[in-house]
Amino acid sequence: MPTVISTRQLTRRFGENVAVDALTLEIEQGEVFGFLGHNGAGKTTTVRLLNGVLRPSAGAARVFGLDPVTDGAKIRARTGVLTETPALDDRLTARMTLLYFADMFGVPRAQVRPRVDELLALFDLGDRADEKVGGFSKGMRQRMALARTLLHDPEIVFLDEPTSGLDPAATREVHQLIERLRDRRHTVFLATHNLNEAERLCDRVVVLAKGKVLGMGTTRELAAQLEYGHRVIVEVDGLAAAQAEQVLRAVPHVTQVEAARDRNGSEAGGVFLLVHGTSREHVPELVAALTQSGVNLYRIEPDEPSLEDVYFALEHE
């Protein structure tokens, strides 16, 4: 797919503080790209740079092949941005808000009413459409802001903590919306603290700290960069645990075998072993070695690191 966002050594300083430090990345059309990092990591600043709201101190960016510095207005006409704390006019009703922004975004007049009704229904705001936004709960305000962001059917959607303040049902709806955007080949730039959310939705992620990239790729690609690599959990007959350890250590690729700290023995008298340096593709080899040695094997499964494991490992490298 074509690249819709690219940066080369993109940098933004505020005095002595470097908010974005030599960021280089490429994002393809239709990708859900996760931007992960603690507060102050540079996520919001990057979104502003890509939309031409801020000028870089060094480096360059291209969005749709356009330079945000000189073509910011053209870029913003094709992107939608949901900030972490979206501002809404409490005096306007939900419908009036969307009608106002539809006009601002240049939605064709014939499409405005159907589009507003569609989004009000999508975010379960139809029954409250003619009530003032000032009386809405935090979750309703977040849904209102999401509807506003999507009014002009943007090709790239920048979402900063889109499920903040939402209940589980509304959160699921937002996740389903992001998946639908991907299915329609929209690009989603998702800045989130929710690692489970990122792991479920994102094709790739970048992990930032103090504006600098710590790692970029899929969860599996990032895990491969870490010292502990991949692991496999093996459950064997407790009476043959010592023999199993000896057999497993002799298998190529295996770097360490230890008791799995977070698992006790099973009801069947099995013992769990954590095998380091091996992964899913080596499972048949481990099974063959154990069965050929006469060890009773009860269970074997990859113990691949989660995005949460990877995130904190990268932060502490």
For 70-91, write each residue's pLDDT tens digit. Answer: 999 999 999 999 987 778 999 9
Per-residue pLDDT band at 231 (split at 50, 70, 90): confident
Using CA atoms in the order 108, 114, 119, 121, what is the torsion angle rounded to 10 degrees? 180
Helix (H, G, I), strand (E, B) or coil at 201: helix
Return the percentage of the chain with pLDDT > 70, whole number: 96
For 268-295, write each residue's pLDDT tens digit. Answer: 678 899 888 887 888 999 999 999 999 9
For 152-206, write each residue's pLDDT tens digit. Answer: 999 999 998 888 777 888 788 889 889 988 988 999 999 988 888 999 999 999 9
Give the chain's mean pLDDT.
Answer: 89
pLDDT at 270: 84
Q: Model's pTM, two decimal places?
A: 0.79
Average pLDDT over residues 44-60: 96
**Range 231-305: architecture per CATH:** 2-Layer Sandwich (3.30)
Domain boundaries, the chain: 3-224, 231-305
Q: Phi first, then psi: give them for residue 199, nearest 5 degrees.
A: -65, -35
pLDDT at 83: 85
pLDDT at 94: 96
Concatenated DSSP letters of 102-128 = HHHHT--HHHHHHHHHHHHHHTT-GGG
Task: Establish whether domains 3-224 and 231-305 are of one fold.
Answer: no
CATH class held by domain 3-224: alpha beta
